[in-house]
Structure 1
């Protein structure tokens, strides 16, 4: 395994399952959250200043940091889809497997695996619709890169856009409309 592109310390690359589990259990999650948030704030500030070289450097630093990788794995293994495997049928359910995932999460020679296709029932209909399920590794990689891209998207995005944005809801939409003096939905904005 090649770790040359990783900022993960060599002493953290343990092979023993018990040692890996102990290492996962000993992670200080409040510190992890602080470090990830600090880097995201720095990315947002550099974006506001227009210093795209600094943005790229900070994004690289974030996507290759141990804490961001650990945070990405934790988010993937604690969300609603944590018990759903991809085509490789692997789940990260033990502390050792989670820690091993953190240590192997790298973009070096990374290729996505095909999606596992599952058909689920449509609500209120007799038809089924396809659903593609990525592997745990692919989900963690997506989460890791989303951590680096979100600060730029939030900084450069429209301040009154509420669809598919973290920490925003339809209630915020109603507040903006009420501030603009628009009481009915069908009333024109422009």
Structure 2
């Protein structure tokens, strides 16, 4: 119950985070990431390893890189399968907030959730499912 006595239903206007996630220009984000990836490949071919490292750092910490990474993980066929933490980012607001929470400082590797999926010959193969939180 709220202060007015009405029950909160969760209906209504979407949050600002959800609106921001839905209104992203994905073609622009993908172009930014692709441009950085091409620069990394070119620097690798030229053997400029310091440049490669700097560009990789730029890509992994860029807003576009984080946005596209979260989109690829949360909008694929396995999006409803949680990792060992049991969490999934199913709403646009959760995806936006999750993207904003991605940090390099203080990162600790989490274990993978191991499941076995069937193969065509009747045997099973292992599959590791990562967590979404960092």
TM-score class normalised by the smaller sequence = 0.7 to 0.9
Report the equivalent of 1:59. 56
Report the equivalent of 1:89. 86
Partner Cα distance (1:122, 1:55) in 2 = 38
Structure with the higher fraction of residues in helix conformation: 1
Q: Deviations over 1:146-175 (max 9, x none)?
A: xxxxxxxxxxxxxxxxxxxxxxxxxxxxxx
- TM-score, with structure 1 as normaliser: 0.57
- TM-score, with structure 2 as normaliser: 0.79
Report the equivalent of 1:39. 36
What residue ranges of structure 1 are gaps of 5+ in the alignment?
A: 1-16, 139-190
Please state if 1:18 is matched with 2:22: no
One of 107, 111, 114 as aligned partner of 1:117: 114
Q: Could you say if the C-alpha distance between residues 24 and 130 of structure 1 is closer, same or farther in structure 2, counting changes exceeding 3 Å? A: same
What residue ranges of structure 2 are gaps of 5+ in the alignment?
A: 1-13
Partner Cα distance (1:55, 1:120) in 2 = 37
Report the equivalent of 2:105. 108
Report the equivalent of 2:77. 80
What's the RMSD between the two structures over aligned residues? 2.0
Partner Cα distance (2:124, 2:48) in 1 = 48
* Cα deviation, residue 94, structure 1: 0.2
* Cα deviation, residue 121, structure 1: 4.2
Partner Cα distance (1:51, 1:128) in 2 = 43
Q: How many residues align?
A: 121
Q: Could you say if the C-alpha distance between residues 50 and 135 of structure 1 is closer, same or farther in structure 2, counting changes exceeding 3 Å? A: same
Q: Could you say if the C-alpha distance between residues 97 and 48 of structure 1 is closer, same or farther in structure 2, counting changes exceeding 3 Å? A: same
One of 129, 135, 139 as aligned partner of 2:131: 135
